[in-house]
């Protein structure tokens, strides 16, 4: 059993399963910092999952599929932004309704376009896998890291870059200002609504990438409701890591690992359900710890106003 837990194939599949979470969570990090509660990640992913398959089948290239998928998710996020920012509708309700609508729309499209129910396959295949020249030679690690889908590497790069982007880039600094104290941001001429909209569009873009990864890596297919709550796990990762991309990498791999082991351990009679609660349990615990031991800066704010 221990062997399975730490086998290179379990770890490799953990990394693979972590990738869509990581992508969607990076999208969620942008809305997190802009203080927009975004539970529509799930819906964005699902929309993109469908359209990336449609794009791949229609144009024969997974890259065009990715582009079309991400665009469709961004359009959905534009709708989210319009309703939440312009019409002042409630974040949660809009998010839930979009998730519901995405489910309905993708199943309808599946029938309307492909004339099938349930599943559509991409015959031409998805993204290529890549053997990393030197790393693949390292005995154990090579099997984990090398031979992954190209998007896995891109995602890791995006996450690392995202850390700098949010904390060092002017856009990121402004975004955090908007989320933390919108009036103050507004007072120096930063348009709060624009930045919130940018953050929502970015969440659509990255959730879109996540959806495309789901469909175009490995089996290369779209099935009804194929995100199956992955958007919510990604959201858990966002809150677990408080929107820090560096921690999102960690959280996603951890959550991906629990998913991977929940499958692997079934052969030993360990029910997968227990493993599947772990991401959520950990997030609740993390949220509690974050609230119970706030950082000093928060205290100082209380003093300043006193």
Partner 1 sequence: MTDNHVILELRNITKHFPGVIANNHVSLSVVEGEIHALVGENGAGKSTLMKIAAGIYKADAGEIIVDGKLQNFHSPQDAFLCGISAVHQEFMLINSLTVLENIVLGFEPRDRLGFLNVREAELRIRELNKKYGLNVPLMAVVGTLPVAIQQQVEILKALYKNARILILDEPTAVLTPQEIGDLFKALRSLKAMGTTIIFVTHKLNEVLSIADRVTVMRGGVVQGTLPVAEVSEEKLAQMMVGREVIFRIQKVQKDVDRSSPILDVRQVNLSSDAGYPILKNINLTVFKGEILGVAGVAGNGQTELVEVITGFRHPDTGEINIRGERFAYISPRKFREDNSYVCQDRRQVGSSPQQSIWENVLIGLQEQRRFSTRSGILKRNAIYGYTRDIVKQFDVRTPSIHTPAGSLSGGNLQRLVLGRELAKDPILLVAEDPTRGLDVGATEYVRTQILQFAAKGKSVLLVSQDLNELLMLSDRIIVLFKGEIVGEIPGDEATPELVGLYMLGLKRGEKNEVAV
Partner 2 sequence: MKRQWIDETLKYLLILIIAAIIGAILILIKGEDPLKLAGEVFRYALGTRAGIASTLRWASPVILTGLGIAIAFRVGIGNIGVEGQLYVAALVTAILGYSLTSLAPLTLKIVAISGGMIAAALYALIPAFLLVKWRVNEILSTMMLNYVATWGTEYVVRAFFMESTAVVPRLIATREILPEARLGQLMPPYDLNTSLIIGVVLCVLFYLMYRYTRLGYMLNTLGGNKRFARYGGLNITALTFLVFALSGAVGGIGGSAEILGIHRKFINGFSAGIGWDGLLVSLIAKNNPLGIIPAGLFWGLLKNSGFIVERISSVNRWTIYVLQAVIVLLVTADLYVRPYLKRKATATKQREVL
Report the interface residues with partner 2, using CB under 8 A: 37, 39, 83, 87-90, 92-94, 96-98, 100-101, 103-105, 107-108, 111-112, 117, 224, 229, 232, 235-236, 239, 271, 273-274, 276-277, 279-281, 283-284, 287-288, 291-292
User: How far is Cα 226 from Cα 222, in angstroms, rounded to an integer?
Assistant: 7
Does residue 196 bind partner 1 (CB under 8 A)? no
Does residue 141 bind partner 1 (CB under 8 A)? no
In the bound state with partner 1, the residue whose beta carbon lies nearer, of 7 and 35, is: 35
In the bound state with partner 2, the residue whose beta carbon lies nearer, of 103 and 219, is: 103
User: How far is Cα 102 from Cα 233, in angstroms, rounded to an integer?
Assistant: 18
In the bound state with partner 2, the residue whose beta carbon lies nearer, of 100 and 138, is: 100
Stretch touching partner 1 by CB under 8 A, among 96-104, 106-114, 173-181, 256-264? 173-181
In the bound state with partner 2, the residue whose beta carbon lies nearer, of 47 and 151, is: 47
How buried is 22 (Cβ within 10 angstroms: 0-12 exposed, 13-18 middle, 19+ buried)? Answer: buried
Contact 45, 230 (CB under 8 A): yes
In the bound state with partner 1, the residue whose beta carbon lies nearer, of 97 and 173, is: 173
> Which residues, 6 or more positions from 57, have their beta carbon under 8 angstroms from its beta carbon?
65, 120, 122, 123, 124
In the bound state with partner 1, the residue whose beta carbon lies nearer, of 243 and 256, is: 243
User: How far is Cα 102 from Cα 179, in angstroms, rounded to an integer?
Assistant: 27
Query: What distance separates the 2 farthest-apart alpha carbons in the chain?
Result: 65
Beta strand ranges found along 251-304 (DSSP E): none
In the bound state with partner 1, the residue whose beta carbon lies nearer, of 134 and 170, is: 170
Does residue 224 bind partner 1 (CB under 8 A)? no
Give the one entry of partner 1, partner 2, none that residue 88 binds, where binding means its C-beta sits below a cut-off of 5 to 8 angstroms depending on kind: partner 2
Reported for 266-273, long-range contacts at CB under 8 A and 24+ positions apart, including other chains, are 267/4, 268/1, 268/4, 270/1
Output the smallest distance, CB 93 to partner 2, in A.
Answer: 5
Specify which residues 146 forms β-bridges with: none
Does residue 300 bind partner 1 (CB under 8 A)? yes
* Rg of the Cα atoms in the chain: 20
Give the pairing type, strands 119-121 and 148-149. unpaired
User: How far is Cα 178 from Cα 176, in angstroms, rounded to an integer?
Assistant: 5
Give the one entry of partner 2, partner 1, none that residue 39 binds, where binding means its C-beta sits below a cut-off of 5 to 8 angstroms depending on kind: partner 2
Output the smallest distance, CB 294 to partner 1, in A.
Answer: 9
User: How far is Cα 283 from Cα 11, in angstroms, rounded to an integer?
Assistant: 21
> Which residues, 6 or more positions from 74, have their beta carbon under 8 angstroms from its beta carbon?
201, 204, 205, 208
Output the smallest distance, CB 244 to partner 1, in A.
Answer: 12
Q: Out of 168, 229, 284, 290, which residue is the one contacting partner 1 (CB under 8 A)?
A: 168
Q: Out of 16, 174, 230, 244, which residue is the one contacting partner 1 (CB under 8 A)?
A: 174
User: How far is Cα 183 from Cα 24, in angstroms, rounded to an integer?
Assistant: 29
Output the smallest distance, CB 142 to partner 2, in A.
Answer: 34
Give the one entry of partner 2, partner 1, none that residue 17 binds, where binding means its C-beta sits below a cut-off of 5 to 8 angstroms depending on kind: none
Output the smallest distance, CB 157 to partner 2, in A.
Answer: 29
Interface positions with partner 1 (CB under 8 A): 164, 168-171, 173-174, 176-177, 180-181, 183-190, 296-304, 306
């Amino acid at each position: 059993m221990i062997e399975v837990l730490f086998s290179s194939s379990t770890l490799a599949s953990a990394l693979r399963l972590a990738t869509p979470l990581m992508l969607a969570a990076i999208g969620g990090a942008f809305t997190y910092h802009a203080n927009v509660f975004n539970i529509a990640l799930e819906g964005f992913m699902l929309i993109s999952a469908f359209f990336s398959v449609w794009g791949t089948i229609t144009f024969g290239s997974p890259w065009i599929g990715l582009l079309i998928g991400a665009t469709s998710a961004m359009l959905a996020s534009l709708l989210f932004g319009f309703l939440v920012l312009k019409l002042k509708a409630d974040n949660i309700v809009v998010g839930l309704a979009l998730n519901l609508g995405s489910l309905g729309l993708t199943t309808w499209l599946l029938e309307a376009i492909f004339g099938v129910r349930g599943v559509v396959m991409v015959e031409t295949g998805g993204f290529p896998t890549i053997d990393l020249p030197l790393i693949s030679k390292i005995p154990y690690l090579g099997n984990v890291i090398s031979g992954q889908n190209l998007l896995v590497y891109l995602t890791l790069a995006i996450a690392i870059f995202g850390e700098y982007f949010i904390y060092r880039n002017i856009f990121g600094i402004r975004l955090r200002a908007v989320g933390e104290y919108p009036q103050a941001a507004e007072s120096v001429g930063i348009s709060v609504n624009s930045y919130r909209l940018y953050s929502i569009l970015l969440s659509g873009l990255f959730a879109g990438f996540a959806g495309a990864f789901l469909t175009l890596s490995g089996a290369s297919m779209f099935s009804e409701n194929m995100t199956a709550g992955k958007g919510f796990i990604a959201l858990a990762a966002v809150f677990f890591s408080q929107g820090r991309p560096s921690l999102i990498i960690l959280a996603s791999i951890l959550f991906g690992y629990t998913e991977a082991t929940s499958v692997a351990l079934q052969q030993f009679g360990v029910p997968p359900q227990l493993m599947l609660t772990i991401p959520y349990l950990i997030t609740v615990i993390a949220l509690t710890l974050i609230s119970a031991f706030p950082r000093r800066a928060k205290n100082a704010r209380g003093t300043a106003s006193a």
